[in-house]
Amino acid sequence: MFSIFLLFGIIVNGNASKTPADTYRLLHLFNEVFRHIRQESAVLISDRELIEGAISGMMRTVDSYSYYIPEERYKNMVVNFKGELEGIGLELVQEGEKTKVITPFEYSPAWRAGIKPGDQILSINGKKTDGLSLLEIGDLMQGTISEPIVLEIKREGSLETVRFTLKREKIVMKNIRWEMKGPVAYLRLSNFNYQHTSSHLKKALEAILKQNPKGLVLDLRNNPGGLLDEALKCTNFFIENSVIVQVQPREKEKTYRYETAKEALVPSLPMIVLVNEGTASCAEIMAGALQDHQRALIMGSSSFGKGKVQSILPLSPGYAAIQLTTAHYLTPKGRNIQSVGIQPDVLLKHSMGNQDIVKEEAINLLKARGETPKKGIS
């Protein structure tokens, strides 16, 4: 029983208990409950299941973004950071008891089926999602390649539900693509979810600059974010000698400011950045920095509003870990975007597709202007 005390003593150390004695009384309460379940529960549950369940419950008291990651899931996450994953390609978030889509990954089964940001997932293979953690929902979505999965979805503004039958597949993240639209370059950056995103973006920008473009449209719509380091490196290509983002922990006086390097790859090319309700987290950091420094015009609809920082903290032994909210993102000017998002300078809303009005408006605006767009241009 001492090992359980030790485990939870480490975890709660520094919490808001009034005295160490209060903390140990609460730990004693935990041990009492643990003992009763082991000895008297009608269902036999292993010690590992009990402890991991307790840790999962503890993580859920932080917020919906914090959770315990079992060994196998953590190993899969490490693979995902390299740009490969298996599944249907959804980035999810919890709002109270509701599970909603931040965005589907481009070209994934979910993306091809037409699942949209803001869709609420009501059930997975007939099992209701109410009350389940994101980790439990992730487990429901696990399966073998080509195995079907049935999602029941409620779309905002509709009273009816829709069922999608999708097949899991191996998804290779191709998160950067670009093309020239006359004298204007269009660059799509769909996520920061794996390492080397910044090096791939650099190669794309170098190729674009050889075309002597008149302007650049950077499309961050439906970009759910990803690795902070990669997002910072990518933003550094456009801004120099400036703060990119502020990271504010619980002790606000320890707020850390991430600054750019002295030189930027594309410091002055006229830019428009496209955002929408699926633009989240690190993508909002990039958009917020470009907006605060008046480096680019932000166009589209309000972004998602995920301004919390999650850290993946490995535990021992093995590969188990926790994802814990450790701070808040603030824009260079100190704006907290949590639940608010980045507000566009030019508000336009249209779905991405064959008739993408927002994209065409941005390209046409840059074609018509030879100077960097300033805030308030319509």
As annotated, the active-site residues are 281, 292, 306
Identify the residue whose tokens are 């740009």.
83
Residue 291: which residues within 8 A CB-CB, separation 6 or more?
Answer: 273, 298, 331, 342, 345, 375
- Dihedral of alpha carbons 295, 296, 297, 303, sign: negative
> What is d(CA 345, CA 375) in angstroms, rounded to the nearest whole number?
6
Closest CA to 274 of 294, 301, 292: 301
Closest CA to 342 of 242, 273, 295: 273
Burial 155-168 (b: 16+ CB within 10 A, else e): eeeeeeeeebebeb
Q: Which two tokens stand for residue 55?
A: 């840790």
Closest CA to 283 of 176, 146, 367, 189: 189
CB 179 within 8 A of CB 359: no
> What is d(CA 248, CA 308) in angstroms, rounded to the nearest whole number?
9
